[in-house]
Amino acid sequence: MHGSAEVAAPLFLSIGVLLLFAWGFGELARRFNQPAVLGEIIAGLILGPTVFGYLSPDMLHWLFPAEGHTASMIEGITSVSIALFLLVAGMEVEFSAIIKARRIAAITGIGGLLVPFGLGFAGAYAFPEQFGATEGHYNAIFALFIATAMSISALPVIARTLMDLNLYRSELGMITIAAAVLNDLIGWLVFAVILALFGIGHTGASGIAATLIMTIAFSVVMLTVGRRLIDKGLTWVQAYLSWPAGTLGFVLVVTFLSAAAAEAIGIHAIFGSFLAGVALGDSKHLSEHTRKTITQLVSFVFAPLFFASIGLKVNITANFDLMLTIIIIAIAFAGKILGSGITARLSGMSNRESVAIGVALNARGAMEIILALLALQMGIINERLFVSLLVMALATSLFCGPVVKRVLNLKPGKLFVSYLSDKYFLSSITSRTPFEVIGEMSGLFARTGLDIEMIKETLIEREKLMPTGLSNGVAVPHARIKGLKQPLIAVGISKGGINFDSSDGTPAHIILTILVPENGNELLLNLFAEIAKTFNQPDASSLLVDSKNFAQFLSSLKVLTENVRTH
């Protein structure tokens, strides 16, 4: 018992102190509208060799020993934390977004991947020493890693930015998210190959081919057969086992088995947990409540432990290389913004939208940090390069939100209320499905002289790409229409509610259908953001749903818009 206490007490003390500091600094970062991961990493730097180790090396070694039982157990906990964090990251990937993604999203995603990948690979392969390559290691693997590090995006940061700007389900949001999903899947696929190649210790053509085939095969199985089996498993678990405990248990079992399978065939375990998250997140049987429970557990316990533990592993002041950091940041910014921005512009997006997409996809965040840490642990990179990548990941994340907002220049302009008319008002929608509602609402535009069938099909095609249901009982189907001279907004009310697959799971009672001219990209963004902001009030739809005529609706709506303007 005494021996057990000697092992357990230091372990629990270390975890408790680490979690306390991570929570505290994470919350402090949120207070300043910064990502929690920034505060969690700062907490680790304070507790690690950068600050605490400088002030009291003996105390640091006692609280967070570099070897022994406590060190091994903390390492084990952080390994589980990484796997669970990648599970949540995978669940945020809308696999259907890639399948549905139209040409512009695919081209933007590929452009945002290939340009930084090419710049990173060329620079690291030609000048490995300047990039901090570890002497004696394979140039090809090192260059592949740098290329991957330059090309990956942070889907959680991008999604959060779009949500904060009320643009998540806009056309711009859909294209950006689809491109980021494509970036993530390809980036982690390439990184899994790099880790496997480094593990087997050669880069011959046969070794690369075998590893690539194995990785792709595992991915295909998980995202096809595995995805269907997981969906059926979730159905059975929710039908016959306790809820939500049974579902949570099933999710963890699938995650750890997938991680074990990936490790067993020579791919890193994190790639298995990431694919498990993608497969689980695609299932309609995984309820929003269960998703939130898993996300909160990981985000408030395991993720803080992991990100704080990073600061325990490296002395940032001793390993900070200013020139290397500038090079890494320059390639990251130039590659991603130019690659995504130019391809988006060539695909028909406006100048502002193209730059905004490039800036959004430039966010690296936690995904970059995990990638860099694993490379450091495997010996692919040294601590100097790790610190530079850490600084780049944080800089791109902090840069994302404010710059996207400034680039888009979202201004209220003419209030969306002023575009409403009793000519385009439907007090009682009779349809029951989103596509039927769109057809019914399209009929209101008959007086414009435009082809109603064309309007209907354009709105439906947009809805198929990403549902337009927002929170608090509102949906905003929208489209750019060729030949339209002025923007039009039609209003429909559904007492029973229509399932537009809203972000909060509630049915839509208020349907606002927006049509803008074909070149009205920025106008559409402003209207969409203004509507989303107006209806970001819990009682918004309930104030409007009982309106018997347009005058009552408009009167209640002006109360809501005034509330937004005065707060």
Number of H helices, E strands in the chain: 25, 5
H, E, C per residue of 124-185: HHHCCCCCCECCCCCHHHHHHHHHHHHHCCCHHHHHHHHHHCCCCCCHHHHHHHHHHHHHHH
Listed in sequence order, the residues at least 6 apart from 443 whose beta carbon sits closer than 8 Å to its beta carbon are: 452
* Helix (H/G/I), strand (E/B), else coil: 54: helix
* β-bridge pairing 425-426 and 488-498: parallel
**Prior bond of 244 cis (ω within 30°):** yes
Burial class (CB in 10 A: 0-12, 13-18, 19+), 394: buried
* β-bridge pairing 478-481 and 425-426: unpaired
Taking the C-alpha atoms of residue 128 and residue 143, their distance in angstroms, rounded to an integer, is 8
**Prior bond of 156 cis (ω within 30°):** no
Nearest to 112 by CA among 332, 431, 371, 394: 332
Asked if 299 and 88 touch (Cβ cutoff 8 Å), the reply is yes
Structure tokens at 103: 């040409």
Taking the C-alpha atoms of residue 544 and residue 558, their distance in angstroms, rounded to an integer, is 11
Buried b (16+ CB within 10 A) or exposed e, 132-149: bbeeebbeebbbbbbbbb
Taking the C-alpha atoms of residue 552 and residue 544, their distance in angstroms, rounded to an integer, is 8
* Helix (H/G/I), strand (E/B), else coil: 509: strand
**What Cα–Cα distance (Å) separates residue 451 from each residue in 403, 444, 488?**
39, 12, 15
478 given a catalytic annotation: yes
For the beta carbon of residue 179, count every other beta carbon within 10 angstroms: 32
**Any bridge partners for residue 425, and if so which?**
491
Structure tokens at 138: 């394979």
Listed in sequence order, the residues at least 6 apart from 211 whose beta carbon sits closer than 8 Å to its beta carbon are: 193, 196, 197, 200, 266
Taking the C-alpha atoms of residue 277 and residue 184, their distance in angstroms, rounded to an integer, is 13
Listed in sequence order, the residues at least 6 apart from 44 whose beta carbon sits closer than 8 Å to its beta carbon are: 18, 21, 22, 307, 308, 309, 310, 311, 312
Taking the C-alpha atoms of residue 463 and residue 452, their distance in angstroms, rounded to an integer, is 16
Asked if 15 and 74 touch (Cβ cutoff 8 Å), the reply is yes
Annotated catalytic residue, options 2, 69, 478, 509: 478
Q: How many residues does the chain have?
A: 567
Residue 509 phi/psi, 5-degree rounding, is: -100, -25
The DSSP letter of residue 201 is T
Question: Residues with catalytic annotation?
Answer: 478
